[in-house]
Amino acid sequence: MALGSLGSSEDRRSLRLILLDLILGLAGFCGSMASGHLFKQMTGHHSGQGLVLTACSVSCATFALVYSLLVLKVPESTASPRTALPAVDTVTGTIGTYRTLDPDQSDKQGVEGYPPSPGKAVPKKTVIALLFVGAVIYDLAVVGTVDVMPLFVLREPLRWNQVQVGYGMAAGYTIFITSFLGVLLFSRCFRDTTMIVIGMVSFGSGALLLAFVKKTYMFYIARAVMLFALIPVTTIRSAMSKLIKDSSYGE
């Protein structure tokens, strides 16, 4: 995410970061679709049950580590050039809050023709803190929900087998795809805060429906409602990266 932020301009950063999540989602979708079938093939050999999946996971993780150490390079920053027009703060949607989103340049409010709105300026550190707290709380809700799902689907009333569990995980990874399409569409007409709210409502509604699932088809309906659940965290990352130095994003 840090490398993706450095290698993209501010106006395309939300799309770049969600594109990285899309690639992760596609990989997870393919792996989940295959995992149940691979695990089922090993049921006749108790000593090796799950060994193939474990070997695949360790191999992929090892490759990712080696690739990160030896191949990935820090890209040149492609921040958009400074202009004389007032910047619109995509985080709060106000004009004149920040003269620029580049922290290295001092704020210059009050451009001719675009007077700053009194009382609307929000301290940059306050915005960053609120975004950070919002991301942590939302991520706790998402992780808590996702971690309970495997236990829920294995017990009554669903009682899924290995293949069905794999399909259910794959359904979860489709959220990466739909969230990417959502950002691609919404970023053209909504600011960051609006997209964050859309994603939170999508996740909250789907999680509420999951509490009443008793049939398999109901599970997939609830998952479909959560189609934009990935937008908030990615958009918050993008919004925060616009308020801090590029070199500090990783930190």
**Alpha-carbon dihedral sign for residues 131, 132, 135, 137:** negative
In a domain, 101, yes or no: no
Q: Can you give the residue range of the structural domain that contains 54?
A: 2-76+123-241
Distance CA 181, CA 193 (A): 17
Give CA torsion, residues 57, 34, 167, 226, to 10 deg. 60
pLDDT given at position 206: 95
What's the total number of domains in the chain? 1
In a domain, 115, yes or no: no
**Alpha-carbon dihedral sign for residues 33, 36, 151, 214:** positive
In a domain, 128, yes or no: yes
**Alpha-carbon dihedral sign for residues 60, 49, 28, 203:** negative
Q: Say whether pTM exceeds 0.85.
A: no
In a domain, 165, yes or no: yes
In a domain, 110, yes or no: no
In a domain, 205, yes or no: yes
Q: Which of 10-14, 80-84, 128-132, 167-171 has the lowest mean pLDDT?
A: 80-84
Distance CA 38, CA 23 (A): 22
User: What does the DSSP 8-state code read for residue 141?
Assistant: H
pLDDT given at position 199: 94
In a domain, 37, yes or no: yes
Query: Which pLDDT tens digit goes with each residue over 185-208?
Result: 888 888 888 999 999 999 999 999
Query: Which pLDDT tens digit goes with each residue over 33-58?
Result: 888 777 777 665 555 667 777 888 89
Burial (Cβ within 10 Å: 0-12, 13-18, ≥19) of residue 23? exposed
In a domain, 188, yes or no: yes
